[in-house]
Amino acid sequence: MLFLTIPYEIQTVIKNESYLTGKPARQILIEKLRGETVEKEFSPELKNNMLKLDEIKSLKRNWNGNHAKSISGKIVKKTKSLIINLDKQPQIFPTANDSIQIEYDGENDSYLELQITKGKELSYYKVDKSGKEITGTIPCSSFALNALVEDFYE
């Protein structure tokens, strides 16, 4: 039997992907070893977003002066699991309704925002380059989110 020492950062990526997909961590590790590199370099933007999420997690009740509840630790963890695998990092904000909003700004006043809640889908609101407003949902996965963001910037 072969034993591998897996760096903490890679363990975190695998654990987060397991949490999001429901696949066993062992299966994810095997898939990664077969098909792609497991090394993950954290960009300064990702590091800043992780710190911001830690700050959001520490917000106390009435953090906005309007009796908002603190943000659920599960939602913060879910957001970290999503953004760790994103190709482009978003801006991140807490909301007063126990969710986290992530945003992307594009050209010609185009805009994309998504709500991360306890649910299994992400709600989004998008204004495209022509000014058309679009709403919808996507599965709560980094893969689906990366596809939506890539489409937004095309």
| 32 shares its domain with 51 | no
| 67 shares its domain with 16 | no
Provide the pLDDT for residue 37: 43
Q: Which of 81, 68, 79 is nearest to 102 (CA)?
A: 79
Q: Please classify residue 150 by burial: count the beta carbons closer than 10 Å to its beta carbon, then call 0-12 exposed, 13-18 middle and 19+ buried.
A: exposed
| 51 shares its domain with 76 | yes
User: Is pLDDT larger for residue 6 or for residue 104?
Assistant: 104
Which CATH number does the domain housing residue 138 bear?
A: 3.10.450
- Summarised one tens digit per residue, pLDDT across range 46-71 is 989 999 999 999 999 888 888 888 99
**Mean pLDDT (whole number) for 22-48:** 72
**Mean pLDDT (whole number) for 103-110:** 93
pLDDT level of residue 74 (50, 70, 90 thresholds): very high
Q: What residue numbers bound the domain in which 37 lies?
A: 1-41
| 47 shares its domain with 80 | yes
Residue 42 clears pLDDT 80, i.e. is over it: no
Residue 32 clears pLDDT 80, i.e. is over it: no
Q: How many domains, the chain?
A: 2
